[in-house]
Amino acid sequence: MIPDHYHYLLINLLTIAYPLAQSYEKRLRFLKNWKAIFTATAIVGGVFLAWDELFTTLEVWGFNERYLIGIYIGKLPLEEYNFFLTVPFACLFIYEVLNYFIKKDLLKNYHQSITFFFLLCTLFLGTYFSPKLYTTICFYFTAIVLALQFFFFKNDWMGRFYIGYFVSLIPFLIMNGWLTGSFTEEPIVWYNDMHNMGLRINTVPVEDSMYLLGYLLSVTMIYERVKQKNKKQLEV
């Protein structure tokens, strides 16, 4: 039986346990890219933690003290800070594992269409539900990142990114389900439905799937840029 106050901490540990244990695996050597991992995680995490702090203050969402160890930085529990370390690390690990084992870029010819589809959906839903604060900010943020990719950057790794994103959704929804009450008597993280569409995947707000898309795409854009820069420096 897990003591209640360790639940969120355990979620963080389980999220990172396997990726961290396998990061030294000889074929992948994921941690050789530690500079890119750290830079992308720190920059994007800083933005999202500020967003998190604001939305917690506005009671768009909040945290159940029953499932926390009780250490806070500002309005956010320590576990929430850990979340923005463990999730990008795990998702970048999944991305690199898939790149290594799936040699062919399966979505190479389709990634622009996928990006355009997501861009239209996020713009439409963000506008339609504009009084809903989480829905609007989440979808508009993701739309901006998608638009930058579609119109300006046009990175050739986007097909591989989408494979990583779709695979990452599976553990993300399981862990977020745990956070939002699928496996506990009360939610660890609660959402105020006045600020979202009120649609859930089990107990997880639908917005979280687009939150993950915008978050991971931002992380991956910086990660790939720093990784390629480091690679060129080594070749000189």
Query: Beta strands 76-77 and 189-191: pairing type?
Result: unpaired
Global confidence as pTM: 0.96
With CA atoms as reference, report the closest residue to 101 among 29, 28, 18: 28
Query: Beta strands 76-77 and 204-205: pairing type?
Result: unpaired
Dump pLDDT digits (tens) for 21-31: 999 888 888 99
- Non-local (6+) Cβ contacts of 85 within 8 A are 12, 16, 41, 45
What is the residue range of 9's domain? 4-235
Please, which pLDDT band fits residue 236 given cuts at 50, 70 and 90?
low
Dump pLDDT digits (tens) for 72-90: 999 999 999 999 999 999 9
Dist CA 118 CA 20 (whole Å): 31
Domain count, the chain: 1
